[in-house]
Each structure stands twice: as structure tokens, then as C-alpha cells.
Chains A and B, each alone.
Chain A
Amino acid sequence: MLRQLWEIFIAFFKIGAFTFGGGYAMLPLIEKEVTDRGWVKKEDIVDVFAISQSVPGVIAVNSSVFIGYRIGGLPTAIAAVLGVVLPSFIVILGIATILVTVKDNLYVQKAFVGIRAGVTVMIALAAYKLGKSVLINKFAYILAIGALIFVLFFDIHPIVVIIVGAILGPVYYLFFAKSKVKNQGGKS
């Protein structure tokens, strides 16, 4: 048990240490560390992200708690959160004052533009990978594209599109899909 706690702590420490720019940048790292070790199956990782996004709280922490809890309950959840939060904590307390002076350094800025460019690609690839298993019909595509458009162009808060999705899901799958099957039933 202790061995596992330590493994989880270290894995999430690595994830926390290399996430720059916010919670979404964590997704490719979580995917790699967590699914490769079999802690969460590939099919389930989307649900983990989906629920972590839908619940109030910092998405990075939400995902860590969720995954940690799934693996072994409260102790592993705590190990995961400690791991993911500790790098920030240490860096901020340790070198924040240095960082304030260093942040305007040209090379530092260049490095971080580079990181953001790389993270753009990493998240795009993660979205593509997850999308392949999730966008299985027209309805799913419409929801995904709709969410993207409403959040980007109309500045709708993500929670609104999540709630809309949570409502439309049952509406579609429990009403429309069922009546489709009914209509086709007569043919066979």
C-alpha cells in the first residue's frame, strides 16, 4: 500500500511539475502517466476529464482527486493531490521573488513561448485521440462543435455548455434514439 501511495505521489508530482499554463496542459501528461500504467483505462479517461471539468474546482485538482480516488480511495486521492500541488507550492515559495525579476528576461520569455507552442500541439493531439473514441455519431459532433463555438465566439461560460450537454444527452439518447429504433423495427 505504501509502495503504491509513493508511486502515485511521484507520478502526480511529475505531472504537476511539468504542467505550464493551466489545467488543460495537464491532460496530455495525465493521459500518458495514468493510462500507460493501467490506473485508468483508455476508455474511461474521457469520463474522468469530462466529470473533472463539469464539477466546480480547479480542473487539475479535480482530475487528480478523481484518478487518485479511483485507484485506492481516500489515501491515494490525498497522495495524488499532494503530488500535483507540491511542485507549485515549492516553486512559488522558493523562487517566486526571483521569478518576478527574471520573468522579463528575453530568453525566459522565449522559452515559455516555445512551451506554449508545444503545449498547443500536445493538447490538440490529446483532443484528437480522445475525440476518436467519443465523437461516434452526428449528435456527438454537433455537441462538440457547438460547445467549441459557443465558448470561443460567444464567450459562453463552459459550465453552461456542460449543463446543456448534460440535458441534451438524455433527450437524444433516451427519446430520439429510441424512436429511431422503433421506426426501423418494422423493417426487419
Chain B
Amino acid sequence: MIYWELFSTFFKLGLFGFGGGYAIVPLMEFEISAHGWLDMADFANIVSVSQMTPGPIAINAATYIGYHAAPFGFLGALCATFGVVLPSFILIIAIANIFNKFNQHPVFQSILKGIRPVTIGLIASAVWFFATISIITLKISTAAISRWSTFWWYSFFEKIHISPGALLIAIIIFVLIQKAKIHPILAVVMSAVFGILLI
């Protein structure tokens, strides 16, 4: 039954598609073609639209695909979205309980001390990711569009183009956040406005 298929497929995706951001896209591509839920043009559309809609791509895609794949669209969207969210729920609640129980244990603490700096490094990699889709553009060959990693060795030697408008926006937002202490939500809204004005 389509509703079960949507739920279980997106449950799988929620479980295995991690590593942040677009790591899930190739996995989704595979499942979508395997089930014939969307054609590739539609899939490319939802991936790019997902950049413009609030929320993570996994949620956006689940909702969209669920809606279009099932006869009762709303129910399909519900099943898919619920499926993709459930692994997080189960695993995090399990981990949170372990966390509470073993928080004081030295081995647990030392593991955390190892994971925390790695997290900082990963967050820094997200900075690069966002920078390369706004301020800096690296010329990437079209063949690579289906891969979603952020950097290749060989693209380093391709032309690197810096968008002055985007750079200006980055500087403005930096000053606004640091000096005027504006709320992140306001920063997002202003970035959009400046985007229209300055890009």
C-alpha cells in the first residue's frame, strides 16, 4: 500500500540519510526512481525549491513526494513526513536517556570532549558550503550536479568568482549582528531584502 511504502521508505531515509544537508539527496534519488514516485525533472525542481522553503530538505522532500505520490495527497505527505521524523525521535530520546544516566562517567565525558571539537569543524564546513552557494562560486562541471559534496580538488583550479553584492551583504549582516545585535530572524529577512537590492 502506497501509504505504508511512503512511511517505510522515508523512515529508511531518515535513518540513513545523515551527515547534514544534502547527503540525503542521492539516497532520495535512488528511492524515488525505484518507486517511480517522481520523474527526475520534478525531483530536481523540489531540490532547488527546497532551498527556498523553510526547513530541511528531507522534510520538504518528504512532504512534497508524499503529496504527489499518493491518491490522498495530504495523507501521503503525512505518512512520508512522519516516517522521516520518527528515527530522530526514537534515537534521540534513547540517547538523551543515556546522556542523563552516564553524563558524569569519565569515559562518556571524554567521548563528548572528542565529539565537540569535531562538531565545530563540521559547523565550519557548513559555513563553507553556504559561502560557495552565495559569495564565492566555483565553476563545477555539470556532470557533478548530481553529487552534493561541497568541494573538489580540481575545482580549486577552476575560475573562482566572488560576488561583490553577496560579499557586501555578508559584511552588512556581520556588522548588524555584532554591533546592533539584531535577532537572527530579522537578519534572515534583511538578507533577503538586501539580496533583491544589492545582488
Chain A residues at the B interface, C-beta cutoff of 8 Å:
14, 16-29, 32, 46-47, 49-62, 65-66, 69-70, 74, 77, 81, 84-85, 87-89, 91-93, 96, 99-100, 103, 107-108, 110-127, 130-131, 134-135, 139-141, 143-148, 151-153, 155, 157-159, 161-162, 164-170, 172-174
Contact = CB atoms under 8 A, between A and B. Distances in A.
Ranked 9 nearest A-B pairs via Cβ:
A114-B195, A169-B114, A118-B191, A147-B121, A88-B55, A57-B88, A165-B118, A24-B126, A116-B134
A113 B116 contact: no
A166 B125 contact: no
A125 B174 CA distance: 8
Contact of B19 (A28, A50, A139, A159): A159
Interface of B: 14-24, 45-46, 48-49, 51-60, 63-64, 67, 73-74, 77, 81, 84-85, 87-89, 91-93, 95-96, 99, 106-107, 109-131, 133-135, 149-153, 163, 165-167, 169-170, 173-174, 177-178, 183-185, 187-196, 198-199
A58 B120 contact: no
B122 A157 contact: no
Nearest to A134: B116
A96 B65 CA distance: 11
B74 to A, nearest CB: 7
A100 B166 contact: no
Contacts of B118: 50, 143-144, 147, 161-162, 164-165
A32 B116 contact: no
A152 B129 CA distance: 9
B179 to A, nearest CB: 12
B115 A92 contact: no
Contacts of B96: 66, 69-70
Instruction: Specify which of A88, A92, A167, A172 lies most central, judged by the most chain B CB atoms within 10 Å of its CB.
Output: A92
Contacts of A23: 20-21, 56
